[in-house]
Structure 1
Amino acid sequence: MSFVWWHAVVVWLPMLPTFWSIWHIWSHDFPRPQARALWLVLVVFVPVIGGIIYIFTGRKTALGKI
C-alpha cells in the first residue's frame, strides 16, 4: 500500500476543529478561569467532538481577545 495525498487529508481534516478550538481558547478571555480550563480539557481529551461542541456553544462564552 502506497501513501497518497488524500491519506493526509483524511487524517488532518477531522482534527481542524480541535486545533482551531485550542487556538481560540488560548487567545480569548473567559468570564472565569475555570471555564477556560474546562473547555481545554474537553477539547483535548475528546478531540474531534469536543472541538465541534466548542465551536457551536463555547465560542459564544468567550469575552474577547487577550
Structure 2
Amino acid sequence: MPEYWLTMLDEENFKYTVERGIYGLPESASGLAQLIKPGHRLVAYVMKKGCRELCQSFAAVLEIAGEWRK
C-alpha cells in the first residue's frame, strides 16, 4: 500500500512540477527525502500566496517515480 505525503506549493512551483515531472526539496529537508520513496504519493496543496487559479486547493496526487538526486 503506498504512503501519502502532503506537500504545500505555491502555484508557480506546482505548475512547474506538473509540466516537467520534477519535484524538489531544499537541502535542509534531506532527512525527509530519505523517507519518501518511489511508489509513495504526494498530495499537492496549492497555497494562497501569489496564487491566481488554484488557490487553497488540493490540486493533484503525484506518484514518486524515481530516486532523489542532487
Shorter chain as denominator, the TM-score bin is under 0.3
Greater share of strand? 2
Structure with the larger helix share: 1
The higher radius of gyration belongs to 1
- Give the alignment's TM-score, normalised by structure 1: 0.27
With the length of structure 2 as denominator, give the TM-score of the two structures: 0.26
